[in-house]
Amino acid sequence: MSVVYLVAGVCLVALQRLLELFYSRRNERRLRARGSVERGAGHYPLMVGLHTLWLVSTLVEGLLRGPEIPAWWPVPLAALLFAQPLRYWAILSLGENWNTRILVVPGGKLVKSGPYRYFPHPNYIVVAIEILTFPLIFGAWVTAVVFSLLNAGLLFIRIRTENRALKELAG
């Protein structure tokens, strides 16, 4: 594997996450101005830490594994790229309500358009695919497995918290 591809890949995913955080922060300010209340704030730092360590671990394991990428790298890359339109469809469908935090606006309405017509947490599906597939592109299978398991545990908590928050909106 060329170290350049590994570093470029990690930088691209990190840039994607940072841009999403900027968008999320902008939306958060607007939602808080409308009186939103945050749910699950206690596990938010765990989520940020998990994503940060996942990227660092992908980089470190990729560097330790050496310069050769696995022959099957196109498979996880295809899965990663295939998931991206779902991410942006979910984000665009929520519009200003999309956030990395769980924010409930009193009197707000549930979004039931876009991918939310079909399943309740499409962005989490994308994140699970990313956490598994991105490290595999570079042969970092330990990172893929460990962080997929950690993410599953965190999503168990987060989805339950988010579902309770959504029930508040549904009344």
Position 73 pLDDT exceeds 60: yes
Q: What's the confidence (pLDDT) of residue 15?
A: 98
Q: How far apart are CA 170 and CA 98, in angstroms?
A: 17
Could you report the per-residue pLDDT of 31-49, keeping only the tens digit for each?
999 999 999 999 999 999 9
| Over residues 132-149, mean pLDDT | 98
Q: What's the confidence (pLDDT) of residue 169?
A: 74
- Which runs of E-coded beta strand occur in the chain? 37-39, 102-104
Q: Is 39 left (phi over 0), alpha (psi -120 to 50) or beta?
A: beta
Residue 66 pLDDT level (bands cut at 50, 70, 90): confident
- In the chain, the number of structural domains is 1
Could you report the per-residue pLDDT of 74-99, keeping only the tens digit for each?
999 999 999 999 999 999 999 999 99
Which domain does 107 fall in, by range?
A: 3-170
Q: What's the confidence (pLDDT) of residue 170?
A: 67
Q: What's the confidence (pLDDT) of residue 134?
A: 98
Q: What's the confidence (pLDDT) of residue 154?
A: 98
| Over residues 115-135, mean pLDDT | 97
Q: For the domain that residue 155 is a member of, what is the CATH number? A: 1.20.120.1630
Q: How far apart are CA 157 and CA 30, in angstroms?
A: 26
Position 1 pLDDT exceeds 60: no
Q: Which uninterrupted H or E stretch holds 167?
A: helix 141-170
CB 117 within 8 A of CB 74: no
The type of residue at 85 is: P
